[in-house]
Amino acid sequence: MAGVRFQGVLVPAVTPFRSDQSIDIERWYRLCRSLLAQGADGLAIFGTTSEANSIGARQRMSAMDALIERGISPARLMPGIGACSIDEATELLRHAAGHNVGGVLMLPPFYYKGVSDEGLLRFVGSVISRAKSSARVYLYHIPPIAQVGFTLGLIERLTQEFPGIVVGLKDSSGDLNNTLAIVRHLPGFDVFCGSEVFLLDTLRAGGVGCITATGSANVDGIQAVCQAWRTDDAVRLQERATAVRKAVQQFPLVPAVKALLARANKDPAWEMVLPPLTSLPRDAEKRLHASLEAVSFSCRPMAASD
Amino acid sequence: MAGVRFQGVLVPAVTPFRSDQSIDIERWYRLCRSLLAQGADGLAIFGTTSEANSIGARQRMSAMDALIERGISPARLMPGIGACSIDEATELLRHAAGHNVGGVLMLPPFYYKGVSDEGLLRFVGSVISRAKSSARVYLYHIPPIAQVGFTLGLIERLTQEFPGIVVGLKDSSGDLNNTLAIVRHLPGFDVFCGSEVFLLDTLRAGGVGCITATGSANVDGIQAVCQAWRTDDAVRLQERATAVRKAVQQFPLVPAVKALLARANKDPAWEMVLPPLTSLPRDAEKRLHASLEAVSFSCRPMAASD
C-alpha cells in the first residue's frame, strides 16, 4: 500500500471538459499540480464536485492513467470509484489499486433506495474481493445526493470485516453530529468532514481533515485551518474559511467553483459542466463574485508552470 | 427503425445470475422466450426489475448480443439504457440501435438531484446526437427510485426537438393523474403505465399499455386486461390483475418476483439478486406465497423448450 495514510485537506478537483464533452487532460493536470503546490495534501479526483458520475468508467480510468503519466504521484490520489454496479466499481478499484494509489473513495450503490445495511455490506465486500485489492477504501457518505448512505452500525461492521482496508470515511451528510459520532465511536478510523465549515470541530474531536468541494478554489485558506488548529489563531482562520464557503454554497457548488477558476485564470473554458448540470447564468455569476468580494476573498490563479 | 411501435404489455424481465454474479444467459433466454410465448408484446430488458443498474454497461451489452444470437427478435426488445454519464448512455444507445431494437427505455441521469429541465434536455440531446441514433427512445419516469424525473414541460420539449425519436414514456410515478395528464396533453405520444394497477384507466384515456415488474410472473393475467379492455369483462380482469399485484408489492418487488419464479419452476437459482438488493427472507417468502394463495393465484412455470 502506498505511503502514509491521508490526513489534512484533500481536494475533489473539478474536472475541465472540452467542447466534445471529453476530459481536458492538460488543463486538469495543471489544476492538480497547482492544488498540490498551493497546499493540498491529496487529490480526491472523481468525486461529486469532479462530476465523476457524469463521466464513463472507461474515460475516468484512461484520464487517471494520463494524469499519473504526467507526473502526479499516485500516493497523493484518492480517486472516487463510485458506480451502481459491482462490475464497474470492481473495475475502478482494480485499476486504482494497480496504480498503488493512496486510497479510493467509495460511494454506496445509489440507484435503489431504502436498501438494507446487509445489502450494502455485500456490495462493498463483493467489490473488494472481486478486485482482489488491498488498497485503502474510504467510504463516501453523502446522503443529500446519493440518498443511500453508511450508518454507524454498517461502518463498524465494514471496519471489522475489512481491517486495514476500510480505514476511513468522508462525511458529507452536512450533519456535524454525525461526523463527531463516527469519530468518537471508532478510534483509529480516519474521518474527514465533507465541508471545511466543520473542519476545526472535526479536528478537535479527533478527525483527520476534510475533503471539500471548495478546495479547488480556496485550498490555502482551508489548509491554514489545518496547520493552525492547535493555536490561538484557529478560530479566526476557521471563521474566514467558513465565510468563503458560505458565500460560495449559496450557488450550485460545481458550476460556482468552476466560475471562480474561470475568472481567476481568465479562462472561460473552466465554466463548462457536463449535463445534467448547467453553468451559472451570468446574473448568478455576478452575485457569486459580489458575495466573495464582500468577504474580501478572491480565488488565486493556478500556480504557473515550472 | 424496427417494426411497428410498441403497445400492450411489455415485461421488464428479471435477470438470473450465476453465483459469480454474472448473468445466467441460458436461464435468461428461456425466460424471455417463455414470456413472449405466454403473451408479452415486448421485453423491456434491463429495467429496474432487471437490476440493470447493478450490472456493468459492458456486461449488459454482451448479454443482449447473446440473447439476440439465440433468437429473440430485436424488434421485440426495449432495452434500458440507464446510466448517469452521457458516455455510457451513448454507448448503450448506439449498441441497441445497432441491433435495430424496437426502442430503448431511457432513465434520466440519477446521481445529481434537483437538476434543471434544461440540464436533462441537454443530457438526452447529447446522448441521441453522440450515438447518431434514430432508434425510438421511451423516457423512463420513475421518481420514487431515480429521484430525478421528466416533467410534462420537459417531455413536450423533447418530443418537439426529437420528433419520431422520443416517442413515448413509461410512467412509474405511481400517480395515475400524472399518467393521464401526459396522455391528454400529448396526443400521439405513447404512454405506458408502470404498474398494471392503472392499466385499464390508462388504456381508456388513450395510453398504449403497461411495462410492469410483475409481468415476469403474471404476463397472461395482465395481457388479459389489454385484450378485453373494450369488453364487459374488463373490470373483472383488471380487479384480478390488481389483486395479484397488490399481494406481490407488499414485498420488495425484485426479490418477490424472483421468489415466485423460483417456486413455479422449482428452481432456487432464480432467487439470487445482486447486492445491494437481498433475497426475501424465508418468512417473508412464506407470507408472499400465502398472500397469493389468498387471491387464488399461482405463477405459471416457464413455457417448455421447443
pLDDT tens for B217-249 read 999 999 999 999 999 999 999 999 999 999 999
Q: What confidence category does residue B305 fall into, taking pLDDT thresholds of 50, 70 and 90? A: low
- Residue contact B276–A116, C-beta within 8 A: yes
Distance CA A186, CA A195 (A): 20
Contact B146, B171 (CB under 8 A): no
pLDDT at B16 over 60: yes
Is A21–B116 a contact, with Cβ atoms under 8 angstroms apart? no
Residue B179 neighbours by CB under 8 Å, 6+ apart: B171, B173, B191, B193, B198, B201, B202, B205, B207
Q: By CA distance, what is B123's nearest residue in A?
A: A275
pLDDT band at B303 (very low <50, low <70, confident <90, very high): confident
| Mutation site for A-interface testing, chosen from B54, B115, B150 by largest number of A Cβ within 10 Å | B54
Phi-psi region of A100 (alpha: psi -120 to 50; beta: other; left: phi over 0): left
pLDDT, tens digit, 9 for 90 and up, residues B169-216: 999 999 999 999 999 999 999 999 999 999 999 999 999 999 999 999
The SS3 call for residue A44 is coil
Residue B137 has pLDDT above 70, yes or no: yes
Residue A3 reports pLDDT greater than 80: no
| ipTM of the prediction greater than 0.90, yes or no | yes
Question: What tens digit of pLDDT does each residue of A69-115 get?
Answer: 999 999 999 999 999 999 999 999 999 999 999 999 999 999 999 99
Query: Which of the residues B59, B87, B130, B158 would you substitute to probe the A interface, choosing the one with the greatest number of A C-beta atoms within 10 Å?
Result: B87
Q: How far is CA B92 from CA A112, A305, B62, B79, in A?
A: 20, 40, 11, 9
Angle (deg, nearest 10), helices A117-131 and A152-161: 30
**Residues in chain A within 8 Å Cβ distance of B108:** 276
Confidence class of residue A4 from pLDDT cuts 50, 70 and 90? Answer: confident
Judge contact between B155 and B182, C-beta under 8 A: yes
- Cβ of A118 within 8 Å of Cβ of B278? The answer is yes
Chain B residues close to A18, C-beta within 8 Å: none
Instruction: Summarize the confidence of residues A108-134 as an average pLDDT.
Output: 98
Asked if A88 and A57 count as a contact pair (C-beta separation under 8 A), the reply is: yes
By DSSP bridging, strand A137-141 and strand A8-11 are unpaired
- β-partners of residue A262 are none
For residue A215, pLDDT over 90 is answered with yes
Residues of A with CB under 8 A from a CB of B: 21, 48, 53-59, 82, 84-88, 91, 108-113, 115-116, 118-120, 122-123, 126, 130, 144-148, 274-278
Vertex A152: Cα angle to A146 and A158 (nearest 5): 85
Nearest to B289 by CA among B265, B267, B257: B257
Answer whether A108 sits within 8 Å of B276, measured CB to CB.
Answer: yes
Query: Confidence class of residue B2 from pLDDT cuts 50, 70 and 90?
Result: low
Query: Mutate which of A15, A23, A84, A126 to disrupt the B interface (most B C-beta within 10 Å)?
Result: A84
CB distance A276–B88 less than 8 Å? no
Mean pLDDT of B267-280: 98
Picking from B111, B116, B122, the nearest residue to A53 by CB comes out as B111
Q: Which of B85, B106, B147 to mutate to test the interface with A (most CBs of A within 10 A)?
A: B85
d(CA B12, CA B192): 13
The mean pLDDT value for A44-60 works out to: 98
Q: Is the pLDDT of residue B291 over 80?
A: yes
Which residues lie across from B105 on neighbouring strands? B80, B138
DSSP secondary structure string for all residues of A239-282: HHHHHHHHHHTTS-HHHHHHHHHHHHTT-GGGG---TTS-PPPH
Please list every residue in chain B whose beta carbon sits closer than 8 Å to the beta carbon of residue A145.
111-113
pLDDT at A1 over 70: no
Question: pLDDT averaged over chain B?
Answer: 97
- Residue B259 CA to residue B253 CA, distance in Å, equals 10
Residue A145 · residue A159 · CB < 8 Å: no
Q: Are B96 and B79 spatial neighbours (Cβ–Cβ below 8 Å)?
A: yes
Render pLDDT for A20-38 as a digit per residue (tens, 0 to 9): 999 999 999 999 999 999 9
Identify the closest residue of chain A to B108 by CA–CA distance.
A276
